[in-house]
Chain A
């Protein structure tokens, strides 16, 4: 099946710094990528939809100036957590949408990035 990678898998940073997380579709082109956040023992919450070449669409309650998303190519989307604070510590997961005619499209999830802000 299709493979999606995330880098880094784990990051620890100081409060106030910015952190960039990369999401790559390794063997297919993804016109749409999605970013999710998962707090401990909670569900995955959709943060934003990232479309190649256009601005991301953010879900209600997600600060677009804090969570910068760039989808520069059909295989790469990046999420930058700006001025990170301890409450941003979470597990961030991306997914890439493999679209196909006939309704056979699906999403493939990356392995996640665990962010800890000290």
Chain B
């Protein structure tokens, strides 16, 4: 069964618009971690955030914010006032303590910020 679902394959928005990337996960573990990574064209993964299953507090970091809701098994990522440099593929991922902390990635959302 797919563990992490990113339903949006590709999104295009005009610069300065806000955009939300959706992520829904599936796990039976009570202890798990959720992640977001950015992968620019260079290919190198850029770590954005890690959230553990016991911390449902939303987080804001500059233009980035994350909404973690266990009730809906979602961990959505919002970029406000998007910029062209935000164009990349964004991956949501899950690791489960009972599965040796292997990180399982969603299929990714390709984000295009148009000037």
Would you give the shortest CB distance from B31 to chain A, in whole angstroms? 8
B interface residue count range (under 10 / 10 to 19 / 20 to 34 / 35 or more): 20 to 34
Chain B residues whose CB sits within 8 angstroms of the CB of A114 once the complex forms: 43
A103 touches B105 (CB 8 A): no
Which residue of chain B has its CB nearest to the CB of A34?
B102
Interface string of B69-108 (1 = CB under 8 A from A): 0000000000000000000000100010000111111111
Q: Is A107 an interface residue (CB 8 A)?
A: yes
A97: chain B residues within 8 A (beta carbon): 101
**Contact: B91 with A43, CB < 8 Å?**
yes
A106 to B33, CA, bound (A): 9
Minimal beta-carbon separation of B56 from chain A (angstroms): 16
Given contacts A32-B100, A49-B100, A106-B50, contact A44 B44 (CB under 8 A): no
**Size class of the contact patch on chain A:** 20 to 34
Interface residues of B in 21-54 (CB under 8 A from A): 31, 33, 37, 43-45, 47, 50, 52
The answer to whether the Cβ of A78 comes within 8 Å of any Cβ in the partner chain is no
Residues of B within 8 A of A32 (CB): 100-101
Kindly list chain A residues whose C-beta atoms are within 8 Å of the C-beta of B91.
Answer: 43-44
B106 touches A43 (CB 8 A): yes
Q: Mark A43-64, 1 if CB is under 8 A from B, else 0.
A: 1111001000000000000000
Min CB distance A3 to B, Å, is 12
Chain A contacts for B52, CB-based, 8 A: 103
Min CB distance, B105 to chain A, in Å? 5
Q: Using Cβ atoms and an 8 Å threshold, which residues of chain B touch A41? A: 110
State A105–B91 Cα separation when bound (angstroms): 20
- A: residues with CB less than 8 A from B are 1, 32, 34, 41-46, 49, 91, 93, 95, 97, 103, 105-109, 111-112, 114
Q: A107-B95, A109-B44 are in contact. List 19 more A-B contacts (CB 8 A).
A: A32-B101, A34-B102, A34-B103, A41-B110, A42-B108, A43-B91, A43-B106, A43-B107, A43-B108, A44-B91, A45-B105, A46-B104, A95-B103, A107-B103, A111-B43, A111-B44, A112-B43, A112-B45, A114-B43
